[in-house]
Amino acid sequence: AKRRGRRRAQPYVSGLAERLVERQHITDDLYEAVQNGGFSLAFQPVVALSSGITTGYEALIRWNHPTRGWISPDTFIPIAEDCGLIEEIGRWVIMEACRQLAGWSSHLHVAINVSAGQLKSDALLHHLTQAILVYGIAPERVEVEITETALIDDAARTAAMLARIRRTGIKVALDDFGTGQSSLAHLRDFQFDRIKIDRSFVIEAGSDARCMAVLRATVAIGQELGVLTHAEGVETREQLELLRSIGCDAVQGYLVGRPVVPFTDAVATLVPAAV
């Protein structure tokens, strides 16, 4: 009863303390997962709009926590960045994505998400080139995705790092385009091979004329720059047709394919649907 009373008196402080404890637990468990291989990768198809052909897959990390179940990367990646585990987790993602890519048809590429913390260190380039060598992969088949928010600090250093990555033949995509600050400045100051237009613009494309105008203009900028345009989070046939009509190059989203963990999925099909 006493605890409840206190919580009511100081809801914010109490909530904050609980969240810190919670975060510490997750941090401890992350160390454990890194040590014992607690992660897996899901792959979501990327489809070319002109041909309808799958050109590659985006690798999305999955963590099945021993007691809490699936924890979203949106939750644990920021924690991994804070506690310094991101480099180790990032290295695993790169190696595992390239290992799987080596078994795919040679026209397919793999897209790997890279966070702000990874971009600051030379280890990223080392891990990428190492994975490409180990699995004997053409570097052009690997693409790294960088969010707009990862570009904000130390622009000169980041631009140099992106240039070094691109010189190896590895592609660079700008992720979540339109959600960060100074999106246009990023297109001016950095070189990309692909612009991934954030899902938030796709959702309202059919119903909102302004949103449609922004989408159309973004595709035009991409064409002008010679950069592929790619729409994220396409869930309906209408959205797909609108994007096709404005000349968007590629789509990704539940309509064309959900992220799947290859092995787990094969196992799941053996389980009767009624169970």
Give the Cα separation of 92 and 137 in Å (integer).
17
Give the Cα separation of 170 and 203 in Å (integer).
30
Nearest to 82 by CA among 17, 23, 151, 36: 23
148 binds Ca ion (CB under 5 A): no
**At CA 250, angle to CA 245 and CA 255, rounded to 5?**
85
Residue 67 near residue 59 (C-beta atoms within 8 A): no
Strand partners, 57: 45, 110
Contact stretch for Ca ion (CB under 5 A) within 3-11, 27-35, 225-233, 261-269: 225-233
Helix (H, G, I), strand (E, B) or coil at 184: helix
29 binds Ca ion (CB under 5 A): no
Interacting residue ranges for ligand C2E, rule: CB under 6 A: 44, 60-61, 72-74, 77, 93, 113-115, 145, 175-176, 233, 235, 253-254, 259
Cβ closer to ligand C2E: 60 or 110? 60
Cβ closer to ligand C2E: 189 or 235? 235
CB 57, min distance to ligand C2E, A? 12
Q: What mask of x and - would describe binding to Ca ion in positions 57 to 96, judged by CB under 5 A? A: ----------------------------------------
Strand partners, 69: 65
CB 44, min distance to Ca ion, A? 9
Give the Cα separation of 40 and 56 in Å (integer).
18
Residue written as token pair 């990646």 = 77
Cβ closer to Ca ion: 87 or 175? 175
60 binds, among Ca ion, ligand C2E, none (CB under 5 to 8 A by kind): ligand C2E
Contact stretch for Ca ion (CB under 5 A) within 87-95, 168-176, 183-191, 257-265: 168-176
Rounded to the nearest angstrom, the gap between the alpha carbon of residue 57 and the centroid of all alpha carbons in its chain is 11
CB 93, min distance to ligand C2E, A? 4
Residue 116 near residue 90 (C-beta atoms within 8 A): no
Nearest to 62 by CA among 89, 25, 84: 89
Cβ closer to Ca ion: 87 or 232? 232
Taking CB under 5 A as the criterion, the residue among 44, 113, 115, 218 binding Ca ion is 113
Binding site for Ca ion (CB under 5 A): 113, 145, 175-176, 232
